[in-house]
Amino acid sequence: MEGALIARDKVGVQDFVLLDSHTSEAAFLNNLRKRYQENLIYTYIGSLLVSVNPYQELDIYTVTQMKLYRGVNFFELPPHLYAIADNAYRVMCNEYNNHFILISGESGAGKTEASKKILQYYAVTCPTTEQLQTVRDRLLLSNPVLEAFGNAKTLRNDNSSRFGKYMDIQFDFKGAPVGGHILSYLIEKSRVVHQNHGERNFHIFYQLLEGGDKDLLCWLGLERNPQKYTYLIQGRCAKVFSINDKNDWKIVRKAFSIIDFTEKDIEHLFGIVASVLHLGNIQFEEDSNGHAIIRDGSQIKWISKLLGAHLSILQEALTHRKIEARSEEVLSPLNVDLAFYARDAVAKAIYGRTFTWLVNKINGSLANKVGFMSGVLNKTVIGLLDIYGFEVLDTNSFEQFCINYCNEKLQQLLIEMTLKAEQEEYELEGIEWEPIPYFNNKIICDLVEQKHKGIISILDEECLRPGEATDLSFLEKLEEKVGDHAHFVTRKLADQKTRKSIDWVDFRLLHYAGEVTYCAGSFYLLLFQVLCNSKNSIMRDCFLLSELDNRRRPETVATQFKNSLTSLIEILMSKEPSYIRCIKPNENKEPGKFDDFLIRHQVKYLGLMEHLRVRRAGFAYRRKYELFLQRYKSLCPATWPHWHGPAAEGVERLIKHIGYKPEEYKLGRTKIFIRFPKTLFATEDAFEYRKHLLSKVPVPLRCKINTIKLEACWRGALARRAAKKRTWAVQTIRKFINGFINRKKPLCPENRDFVRLSQYHYLMKLRDHLPKNVLDKSWLQPPSILEETSEMLQKICVRNLVRKYCRGLTAERKVQLQQKVVTSAVFSGKKEGYLESLSQPFLDTRLSEFSKALEASATSSCLCKFLLDQTDSFSKRNSLLAEAALPPPCRGSDMKGMMDLQDCSQTGDTGIPLGQKAINLSRIPWGVRWTRV
Ligand SMILES: Nc1ncnc2c1ncn2[C@@H]1O[C@H](COP(=O)(O)OP(=O)(O)OP(=O)(O)O)[C@@H](O)[C@H]1O
């Protein structure tokens, strides 16, 4: 960014915080104009991006541009949407936290285009797999469907979104998009039944008529000509040059199939769209009693067919209302005016709820199925909030009230979060925080939303209280309860001068962005019941019977909106923010035209001056010591060409040499903070001059400079390599943690690496801790996933030890052992001092005497035979075990160990399972056989 400072006279500054007179609106506009005229539509205020609609295709959204911004530091390149998108993405991947990008501005300022471009940026630059390709397509294709049902041509914008949209893009731990979720806010239902001159109904109606094939229209009972439908022609511009309904229809139909809509869904959905058109054509006339009756039955027949509702009940429902008198329900006929009102109310309700159903259906298709299947439910998100800007129309109704209240809340959030971020940075850098004076619009939010005392509560009370509520009774209540509020005025409360501009049924709110006068005058159970029982499954989903049973007071639209806004603010508060403020440069959609008056107005109500003030209150510029030193080191002999000490000290030397005054800067822990832009500009100019001088120095010196440049490049490459390594490390650690969390699960992609690593470590450790001899029963505790393997390894190991031991026995020792075993059978437990004798080897002489004695006596011979018979099977096995467990050479103490072993072997305590013949008898070189004893 500093690179462009030198061109500031021509193209302005890239960041408004670098404006010398940051409080001047004129300077702000001047900078914006300079840039816009050079087709530089983006400018920062710190990390907030201001975007001015170019109304022409600029060559700044190519894949090359996307790649240019990918992974690059925020301030290194000119301001761009991609820099905001990339910054949010990079921080999310590195810190594993959630983000949101709030895009706001007035209608036609370029919000939807911006959010689409961000989505495309992620689609192109994020890693993906074949499996995730579908997710990406769905994320992109949900847009045309939502636009068809939620956008319309208005005077300000041919493709104006008539609803607020918040979209979460979900990423897995590798940063690949794996799903999404959409929340919609306040669809402009009134457009279904009424459009201003030069405006249209929602696109889908015209798309269906223009693009739907003959059979479909026939099935829906529709004609291709939009002029035939009352709801489509009030703006007198059903055909618009800039909109190709036929083509858009094809895109929408294709999108439906990709986002999982079944043919039945589509059939029901268009059944509803057609029903709304038929509803609009229903006309009422008076019967002899002054009650409304339907003039022509053909429309209602189509509605009955398409919604699967009983014809006579539908007819009755459109011309009667249900009154609850004591415990009874009575049908009361409507007059013609009320019947028209009821018809429109139903059309609006049907369309509004169908839109909500559509959003939910799309959400079902965007849900993160990949993660769900593979068990990776941990994900991070980047939310895109494309929300209507502050609206001031000629007549401001309840919808504008909600929109402006929403903006009021978001402004509060922006200021609070910016202040918080500033404060946190100061704290982190150890710089003293100086309180910033700013306008806190909480007072206006409270006026609207406070419980019992706020405008919404008063409206609720009026709507839900028994007896007739009128616009005037509502206004009186407002005057009574909030009349003394500094931001609320009515005609009665206003002074002489302002009184004329407020009507009797109006009230005026002094928003942070300016004054808006609202018309209080622009603020039925039987039909509801009919729609609950509809055979059209979407209608049944939209109108739930359980709502009818709910005896509690229903929530008014205002309260519903307030609640959804509260949860939206909660969602946003839990995430890291980025902001894009879109500005519309002129009313004629003309490229290059900069309408000062219009833009000044938007700068005000987008809260840009307030934001700049908060952002600039302390310091205009801050940079890490290393980066600052890197750029300006040539300005000081001590730091040029190299500074070998810590960067902070280098910067200190540098600014001392340049002559910064103490009030111009502060040194934080890792950054230098410069208070005034002029200080930075002076430094930048000096740097440019220095560069100019350096370019004129003789060749040998130039060589030196080239060397320095080369070094700088090399350092850059090293830094990039280090950054890559850091990213790799973060991903590895993340993988390790994920593996650890899933370590008890069967082998799956999430734990595979972790398990392999722990297997490797266990085996390496085991290698150094194997039992040393047959009597060593120690064994390294395995991780749970390796228990079975460890058990098998232990068996193999013991078997090998035994084999090794047996092979190492001398023939003489084997004989001795045999003898000990035999004598054990004879004397164990019978002879006193047996245990002590165990460690003493037999003397040959004694044993031969004993044998001779045995041979000499027939009785003795029998006894010997008897003893052998008795001990044969038992001793054979145990002696083997004892042999196996005894380490050579067998000294006296070993003998005792062996006999002990023999005892415990009977209980299986040797570690060698008894049931499993651990040693093959025939394979052991005994030398002496039993019979020879
Ligand atoms: N970056 C851009 N490059 C080129 N044209 C743009 C750009 N942004 C907006 N436009 C033009 O401006 C028109 C209006 O933009 P967009 O629909 O995004 O406005 P919006 O702020 O979303 O309005 P609304 O609130 O009515 O939906 C677009 O149809 C497009 O023609």
157 carries an active-site annotation:
yes
pLDDT confidence of residue 363: 93
871 carries an active-site annotation:
no
To test the pocket of ligand 1, the residue of 55, 203, 240 to mutate (highest count of ligand atoms within 8 Å of its CB) is 55
Give strand pairing partners of 383: 100, 168
Read off the pLDDT band of 342 (50, 70, 90).
Answer: confident
Is residue 521 pLDDT above 60, yes or no? no
* 668 has binding-site annotation: no
Distance CA(171)–CA(289), nearest Å, equals: 64
Lowest-pLDDT range of 179-183, 311-315, 539-543, 740-744: 539-543
For residue range 715-748, what is the model confidence (pLDDT) as tens digits?
Answer: 888 888 888 898 899 888 888 888 888 887 888 8
Structure tokens at 393: 């129309």
**Cβ 400 under 6 angstroms from ligand 1:** no
112 carries an active-site annotation:
yes
pLDDT confidence of residue 852: 56
Residue 838, exposed/middle/buried by CB under 10 A (0-12, 13-18, 19+)? buried
Is residue 277 pLDDT above 60, yes or no? yes
739 carries an active-site annotation:
no
The residues, ordered by sequence, that sit 6+ positions from 667 with a Cβ below 8 Å of its Cβ are: 648, 651, 652, 673
* 184 has binding-site annotation: no
Q: Which of the given ranges, 170-174, 209-213, 871-875, 902-906, has the highest pLDDT on average?
A: 209-213
User: What's the mean pLDDT when you consider all of the chain?
Assistant: 80
* Ligand 1: centre distance to CA 585 (Å): 11
As a whole-number percent, the residues of the chain with pLDDT over 70 amount to 82
Is-contact 91 99, C-beta < 8 A? yes
Is-contact 231 282, C-beta < 8 A? no
Distance CA(590)–CA(100), nearest Å, equals: 31
Residue whose pair of structure tokens reads 């009370």 in the numeric block = 461
E strand or H helix at 754: helix 752-768
* Ligand 1: centre distance to CA 107 (Å): 8
Closest-lying ligand 1 atom to the alpha carbon of residue 389: 25
| 3-class SS of residue 921 | helix
Residue 554, exposed/middle/buried by CB under 10 A (0-12, 13-18, 19+)? exposed
Q: Which of the following is catalytic: 271, 280, 383, 389?
A: 389
The residues, ordered by sequence, that sit 6+ positions from 287 with a Cβ below 8 Å of its Cβ are: 293
Distance CA(414)–CA(104), nearest Å, equals: 11
24 carries an active-site annotation:
no
Side-chain-side CA neighbours of residue 700 (13 Å): 0
E strand or H helix at 168: strand 164-171
* 239 has binding-site annotation: no
* Ligand 1: centre distance to CA 88 (Å): 22
Distance of CA 721 to the CA centre of its chain: 28
Is pTM beyond 0.90? Reply is no
pLDDT confidence of residue 462: 76
For residue range 642-679, what is the model confidence (pLDDT) as tens digits?
Answer: 888 899 999 999 999 988 988 889 899 999 998 887 78
pLDDT confidence of residue 591: 93
Distance CA(387)–CA(185), nearest Å, equals: 8
Is-contact 150 137, C-beta < 8 A? no
For residue range 686-717, what is the model confidence (pLDDT) as tens digits?
Answer: 888 887 777 666 666 677 778 778 887 888 88
Lowest-pLDDT range of 118-127, 392-401, 555-564, 871-880: 871-880
**Cβ 109 under 6 angstroms from ligand 1:** yes
Q: Which of the following is catalytic: 47, 157, 304, 319?
A: 157
Is residue 867 pLDDT above 60, yes or no? no
pLDDT confidence of residue 122: 93
Is residue 216 pLDDT above 70, yes or no? yes
Is residue 920 pLDDT above 50, yes or no? no
The predicted model gives 363-369 an average pLDDT of: 84
Is-contact 519 395, C-beta < 8 A? yes
**Within 10 A of 711 (CB to CB), how many other CB atoms are there?**
12
Q: Which of the following is catalytic: 12, 46, 108, 271?
A: 108
* Ligand 1: centre distance to CA 109 (Å): 6
Read off the pLDDT band of 876 (50, 70, 90).
Answer: very low
To test the pocket of ligand 1, the residue of 53, 120, 200, 593 to mutate (highest count of ligand atoms within 8 Å of its CB) is 53
Backbone angles phi, psi at 860, to 5 degrees: -65, -40
160 carries an active-site annotation:
yes
Distance CA(887)–CA(773), nearest Å, equals: 6
pLDDT confidence of residue 331: 75
Distance CA(100)–CA(383), nearest Å, equals: 4
564 carries an active-site annotation:
no
Is residue 549 pLDDT above 70, yes or no? no
